[in-house]
Homo-oligomer: A and B are copies of this chain.
């Protein structure tokens, strides 16, 4: 089996490393806009060789798109135009509505599987890839009934074999949920980082006084802008609503603090404390 990884970064690289461990005889071809990323990916054992996109597509049984979501929307239709009949195209993008919409009604739509692993770190590039990123995490497949049985079966088998648990939903459901449980936390971290950097100003004070609590809350502000800008753009209706909700809670809390209303402040935090139950579920995974 030959697998091409289009975009050998954190996610594409981690997928390849995990699959290689289960299928040591599979051949991996890398395609990347950056020649340096290609060299690093070979040196790290992520892929066996680097080829052009056209060569890789022609040679592959499975083509995995792990590039920014705007690039997926652009590339996917033309990729399906020329994909060999035996091959499956899989995307790992963080949005699903626009990506699925871009190939709705395409003659080869059934060779495509729309997926999104619920995993990531704030780091990017092939150097950030590690084989433990995906195992034990959850994976969403959207519009499963629009993929042909053999393509779906191949994708599901690989994800299950590397230890992922698969959930199914519509692209619309996916994008709505992700706005709250992922996209919003990235924006809250980016804005927190900016506030502290540009309003606190005294960088030495940040160094000296910030603790692990601050590090944890702001960690996602290190994430790749090139990856996240298109995600927020593609999911802007949901993200904008989530931000409106978040800003409303912040304004309510600010009012409570301004009013010295300690009773309501306590109640506000006690409601938020319920998140402990949810986090314990996530951390057990």
Chain A contacts to B: CB under 8 angstroms: 118-122, 137-138, 140, 167, 177-178, 180-182, 184-200, 202-203, 205-223, 225-226, 228-230, 232-233, 236, 239-240, 242-247, 249-251, 253-254, 257-258, 260, 262, 265-266, 268-276, 278-279, 281-283
Contact = CB atoms under 8 A, between A and B. Distances in A.
A11 to B, nearest CB: 12
A220 B189 CA distance: 13
5 contacts: A180-B199, A196-B275, A221-B269, A222-B279, A240-B254
Contacts of A203: 278
A275 to B, nearest CB: 4
A12 B235 CA distance: 46
Which 8 pairs show the lowest CB-CB distances between chains A and B? A225-B269, A193-B275, A185-B217, A193-B272, A180-B200, A191-B249, A190-B272, A181-B210
Contact of A253 (B140, B191, B226, B258): B191
